[in-house]
A and B are shown apart, each in its own frame.
Chain A
């Protein structure tokens, strides 16, 4: 095929949208996932990888929601079950159970932790002004983990604070 033809094949802007792909416009992107029937989201730039559930090696005397550690290409990564941590739904492990591995950088050092969730659902484009403050009452999820709420159609997605999530075991120690 000639290079000229290739150029013709590329659709001009606005001519015909590519089906099934929402083109990135602006704002931030968030990965949403399910805990029981509730939707949650984390900043997509923190997501290192999404992997299927595997039985981790137990850490002695760790809190119940810390399932253990796994070997991720030579790096020892702790696994936290968010359903147990937030007391949402049941912690059963099936084929659809996935682990979202998040990396967060704090002053030169980075921490990598895997979080067990029921399923990964979507990637959201959200403008900053679309993020609402969360109501300050109730719920099993401690307020420090929540950054805000996002309305998606009829559903509400809870935006989680990755920085706080990465300190999950420090919170455990103080409890």
Chain B
């Protein structure tokens, strides 16, 4: 009868985190008298509590119970919703997340924070709650915990009076399973009370009319018994008495009371789930608690990464595969008996095949796509907290949260975005007095927007604050020795200075931002995703950071180039321009370094054949082509033999079966089935730099090449 519950833990965790997110966002929106929102917060908390109980995460259950009690009072209108309570509830949500994460990783959690929040919660409940009922339950949960410690070893007898509600069976519960679970704990005697049984003609077979008196002799604690009844505690009247200990009976009863109120959530939740697994969960539970406790750490750490995919996306995929099959059978029929007069049908069939594959590729990509709201969701809370901390008034406007983005990109863009939003709050938005004095509304606005542009997604983080002081940035850059005092820079060049390491214009370092660590990291992170960041700012009106990212990391737009016999792919995003060399613009400097004058810039030339040790006929600069690429602000000209087509390529890793190769970011398979390497521009520049630094090898390399080609 025992079911391995641990297989459900990942989905419980996933649901819990979703629940917590829902709680958080609803709490931020919560206004007094908004019953619907309170209900949904309560439902989320209740599900987490129930699930945690099932899986034996006691710390989560205990804590959530307190939260639930507070929410329950709000729901029943016994308590007004005031901002202070919302603050406490938000902290509680953090604690719950902490506890669930600790339970997931089987690790210690920050007990102090949890204890402090528990105290705050308990205090709120005691102070403003006339009945004192919930504070009793606070004590109870503690008593229970300590009781379970004492009772584990010795054999004791419990008397259990169990009166289920008539509709217990409708929620998918069966007393027999409960009794079986109890019998697993120890020796059980059951006496059924049939006094409420109606006449046979009046019986509704779906209703329960019995009640039971059970006697259980066991080594298990009262808490264990309570757990057996966990899922039915809201649909029954339960009294557990330890033989010769009347006191605990009262406690147990007291604990049931706060939650004994009719709870639509519990019912609806249980009805929606198929009845059998729920029962199985219950019965297996006592045995399984120990199992999950003693689980080795390493196993618990394994994170399951999964995506939830909408059925519509899967359906469209199935449709497309269906079409592909039809096209395939059409073509093979055509091929089995082909004559030249069917050529037209063949071409149209191939065209159809092309269409099908393209659509199929797009829909497969869409499966990896998630709406950017997953990344945006954390910002309401962040801005709320930051507003409290800084004392500035502001609101957050989110647009385009349905814009879809690849999951991998999403995971990596989260932190840089947080940084940008923090900056906007701290540096961008001015205090209310300043705003009013400047004729703006007291409340600042931070706007997040996301939209598609070509094959890219653009994320904008805009504020209507003071804007970036161009002169101040410039002065700071001169002070730090990043630019020369007399250099002339245009606006965007000045704003780019913000991304220099160690740059901060904040007069005061706050604990939110201003230490100058970060913007360079933000830029690096975005660049490592193949994206770029731009700044626009008008003084007095605000600033806007535009982050441009590729939609996916799996596919890349590339320019195919030929060097010797090899074909290489240069990512289109890093190409500035491709040109034929004008001899007059070539300059030799520092011995053997060749520079190309591109308008006012001098671009060093990197012959790809030399860097990669290839043989080619195009060793002279004047008959080769130059592809000017840019990475990390450095432009270089890659010398190649020919430019071929531009095409989208699917990135394959070299690391799977080989290892990382310097100067190569991956490989791809071309239309003819051959493999082509994708160039890693920053890596190649690094390669050239390091070979320039170790001069002897550089010389040797050059000599070898000269020998090979002479």
Contact = CB atoms under 8 A, between A and B. Distances in A.
Contacts of A69: 654, 658, 667, 675
B676 interface: yes
Among A58, A70, A113: residue with most chain B CB under 10 A: A58
A59 B614 contact: no
A71 B661 contact: no
Nearest to A69: B675
A27 B657 CA distance: 30
Among A61, A74, A76, A173: residue with most chain B CB under 10 A: A76
A67 to B, nearest CB: 12
Interface string A43-71: 00000000000001111111000001111
Nearest to A68: B675
B661 A60 contact: yes
A59 B657 CA distance: 13
Contacts of A111: 656-657
Contact of A60 (B611, B652, B658, B674): B611
Contacts, number: 67
Among B566, B662, B669, B675: residue with most chain A CB under 10 A: B675
- The number of chain B residues touching the other chain, given as a range, is 20 to 34
B611 A57 contact: no
Contacts of A60: 611-614, 661-664, 677
Q: Interface on chain B toward A: helix, strand, loop, or mixed SS?
A: loop
B313 to A, nearest CB: 23
Contacts of A75: 652, 656-657
Q: Interface on chain A toward B: helix, strand, loop, or mixed SS?
A: strand
A69 B676 CA distance: 9
B673 A58 contact: no
Contacts of A74: 652, 669
A71 B658 contact: no
Interface string A81-93: 0000000000000
Contact of A78 (B653, B657, B662, B673): B657
Contact of B613 (A61, A71, A76, A77): A61
Contacts of A57: 566-567, 667, 674-677
B657 A71 contact: no
Given A57-B667, A57-B675, A74-B669, A112 B657 contact: yes
A162 to B, nearest CB: 14
Contact of A58 (B566, B652, B654, B663): B566
The 4 closest A-B pairs by CB, nearest first: A60-B612, A57-B675, A78-B658, A71-B669
Interface of A: 56-62, 68-71, 74-78, 111-113, 169-170, 173
Given A71-B673, A78-B657, A173-B659, 16 more contacts: A56-B675, A57-B667, A57-B675, A58-B566, A58-B612, A58-B614, A59-B677, A60-B611, A60-B612, A60-B614, A61-B662, A62-B661, A76-B652, A76-B656, A169-B659, A170-B659
